[in-house]
Amino acid sequence: MNPGYPFSAIVGQDRLLLALSLCAVHPGIGGVLVRGEKGTAKSTAVRALTALMPPVTDSAGTRPARLVELPVGATEDRVVGSIDFERIVRDGERAFTPGLLAAADRGLLYVDEVNLLHDHLVDLLLDAAAMGRVHVERDGISHSYPSTFVLVGTMNPEEGELRPQLLDRFGLAVDVSASRDVDTRMTVVRRRLDYERDAEAFAEAHADADAEIAARIALARDRVADVELPDSELRRIAAVCAAFDVDGMRGDLVVARTATAHAAWRGGATVTEDDVRVAVELALPHRRRRDPFDAPGLADGELDDAMSRADEDVRNSDPDPDPEPDPDPDGGGAPDPATEDGAPEHSSSDDAPPADEPPPRPSTGGSSGTAASGDGFDARLLQIDGVGDGAPGRRSRARVSSGRVVRSTDFTGGSLHLVGTLMRAAERRGAAESGRLSIAGGDLRGVDREGREGNLIVFVVDASGSMAARDRLSAVTGAVVSLLRDAYRRRDRVAVVSVRGTDAEVILPPTRSVDVAVTRLRDVRTGGRTPLASGFLTTRDVVARERVREPGRRALVVTLTDGRATGGPDPVGRARHAAALLAADKVASVVVDCESGMVRLGLARDLATALRGTYISLPELSSASVAGVVRAAA
């Protein structure tokens, strides 16, 4: 078996390596979330760190620290542990088998694509990481075991975001990307080729450097408890967190622990301002993203300004500061930061730009424009009727492999319903003469679980030159922004199909990535003919592709149009035929009639009939009413 890629051989990811090392020094930091594009050594660095962790001494002796990888599809039983049914049936004894969290004790727990993991499993991981123990209470069994580990999650933001509540639970976060420096890229490729050619020789060449890092981690672990955190630096930490308006106190605690670990890492006995700066850079940027349209990270100069104000606060609080030249003899200090309530100014349709020009840009934090903000309405009540089998999420009801147990059912494999099984056995045979209950194969009962799924919402927007296309587009953009905000928390996918000119265009492919969505929604144009048939056929293709990718994800199509299809022979008839094809695919639909004026043709109602969907007439269209329609139809 080839040795793993050495930790010291990784090039161009210094911040990632530092964050991992600090968490190895002080597991109480809470782990690292690594965000970045594919091929940036995320997984390589995590696996390489395990070899440098101090050995573990337990009842069986001394062993190397373990790397435990948690699959995205793992069940709760596999993660925390489960009842040992074999011993119960065989010996009549209650027994518990610990899960992956027990195996990860004093090692490293790695979750690749953590943004795709079930939310309740992420909660379990983060609670265990915070407490250092796992407590299991289920089916009459109470069990607890230690589980202290370094938690590392990796993710590609293009595949969806983590909810803000989960972002906050990771101690540190690092954004990684491939270096644009030519020499660095050459070094990365050369080293990788050398490793693939002779892994053992490559590992041997870097063995001394890895041993030095391992010794540094072990030494820092031993001294971290003795590192002093002066009141002046604790005040600096509190001032910076307050300046960044960080919710709660977890951010302050993580910065303090990280600064202490960094001081131990560099061999210091006392936390300094430089330690605090490093800790802030790693621990605070991801805690500031309350809204999915907030830009991640810190803007240029923000950290310097916050540290400067914190430094002033520290000096002012010190009754007897060290004598030093006054950098600002005239006094004054940094001005108070400008305050904004974040409420956007809503513009009317009269302020809309002329046809064939881009609409107002979607907001990234409080700028004006109805199409941009999506504020003023809330789409959280969006649900699709029935119980699906869909992708994990927090939207509509679904049958899931993990979640709330609603009833026992016939056993077909998977989780066993213990109480139901024992009840069935007791009903059939009762206790044997020995006093033990006899269980046969026919007594086994399975678990029927119910949870939540994410849905696919597809907006079909008539962006043609007819009937106030700009108002329609402004409204639907606001609705999409609103749904994306909610989808950020509930793991939905949202897509937009624009109908304009000679064809339909997927201007926003199904996505949960708000960064991608904002970019795509900036440049939508209006004007031209209305090829509705093409719009429905394109939508049908979008839904079909998603069903191949995620068969259980249910779709809701919301069409905003006046129904006046134009272009080519029999455009209205072709639109109805295409709508019928979409309906035959059993896709839930809503048609929002945007027709206005004294004379109304009722074409949108005909489309709703062809779609076998819901028809809604809105004499005055707005972003708020669009979201309301989606709620009502769902």
Residues labelled as active-site residues: 250
Quote the Cα angle for 519-524-529, to 5°.
160
- Give kind and range of the element (H or E) at residue 422: helix 418-428
Answer whether 370's CB lies under 8 Å from 478's CB.
yes
Reduce the DSSP state of residue 462 to 3 states and report it: strand
User: At 557, is the secondary structure helix, strand, or coil?
Assistant: strand
Of 452, 432, 147, 163, nearest to 291 by C-alpha is: 163
Report the 10 Å Cβ neighbour count for 89.
17
**Phi, then psi, of 189 in degrees rounded to 5:** -65, -45
Written as one letter, the residue type at 474 is S
Q: How many helices (H) and strands (E) does the chain have?
A: 22, 19
Amino acid at 303: L
Q: What does the DSSP 8-state code read for residue 445?
A: E
Provide Rg for the chain, Cα atoms: 29
The residues, any chain, with a CB within 8 Å of residue 169's CB and separated by 6 or more, are 30, 122, 126, 129, 130, 250
| Amino acid residing at 333 | G
In this structure, what token pair is assigned to residue 595? 């027709």
* Gap between the Cα atoms of 220 and 216, Å rounded: 6
Alpha-helical regions (H) of 404-513? 418-428, 469-490
Rounded Cα distance between 393 and 400, Å, is: 10
- Other beta carbons within 10 angstroms of residue 609's beta carbon come to 15
Contact by Cβ (8 Å): 448, 405: yes
Bridge partner residues of 82 (DSSP): 97
Of 40, 12, 32, which is closest to residue 151 (Cα–Cα)? 32
CA dihedral 399, 403, 405, 407 (to 10 degrees): 10
